[in-house]
Amino acid sequence: MTKLHKGISQEEFENGYFYATELKEFAQSLGIKTGSLRKNEIEQHIKSHLFGVDQGELPKNVANRQASGARDKLAADSFVVNYVSDKATKAFLREEIAKRDPQLKDKSGQWYWLNDWRKAQIGANQRITYQDLVDKLFQLMTTPGKLPRIPSTRFNNFITDFLADPANMSATRADAMAAWETLKVMPTQKTYQAYKQSKG
């Protein structure tokens, strides 16, 4: 498996598979403040730092909570200051959603994209309330079709694509995981499409 080092090429980096802890430690060795950045966001910063890749405005390191202070009161008119993404917060948001549509079901990726939106607002110095979170979550849950794929979950995306391929109708999840382990050490993009191409 490819190792992270300051002389790594862009191709090696983009075709390698690295754990979040590895990326965080490597980024910090480059002087990049990782803080609350997600795995894919850290990768963006590394590519910009090492290879000068222009990806537009880089993701900001937005802390979920201030250095001190209790977690926010879970109420519609409360400002989002000390946010905690846990069962209590999700239960509150779901309860507010149920007031609008008690039959509305969760949509895959909704929490990732809600957090993505929240961080973008705070990073832009916008004051938002928990009502704003409810409104955004309702929008995500009622979006027609599937939400965009979560960029940092290559493993989950690979497993989904592998099992969805008609060519793998008789395959099990164990088969998909074995294929993923093979792909992880291959010098290619970590997608099912790249894996399938490698198999001819």
Per-residue pLDDT of 89-124, as tens digits, reads 999 999 999 999 999 999 999 999 999 999 999 988
DSSP 119: H
Give 152's contacts (C-beta < 8 A, 6+ positions apart): 38, 39, 40, 41
Looking at per-residue pLDDT, the higher value among 36 and 6 belongs to: 6
Q: What is the mean pLDDT of residues 168-179?
A: 94
Amino acid 86: pLDDT:
94
Looking at per-residue pLDDT, the higher value among 72 and 68 belongs to: 72
Task: Tell me the backbone φ, ψ of residue 30, rounded to 5 degrees.
Answer: -90, 0
**Token pair in block for residue 24:** 């965080």
- CB under 8 A, 24+ apart: contacts of 152-155: 152/38, 152/39, 152/40, 152/41, 154/17, 154/190, 154/191, 155/180
Distance of alpha carbon 149 from alpha carbon 113, whole angstroms? 10
Q: How confident is the model at residue 67 (pLDDT cuts 50, 70, 90)?
A: low
Give 4's contacts (C-beta < 8 A, 6+ positions apart): 13, 16, 18, 22, 23, 26
Q: What is the mean pLDDT of residues 147-172?
A: 89
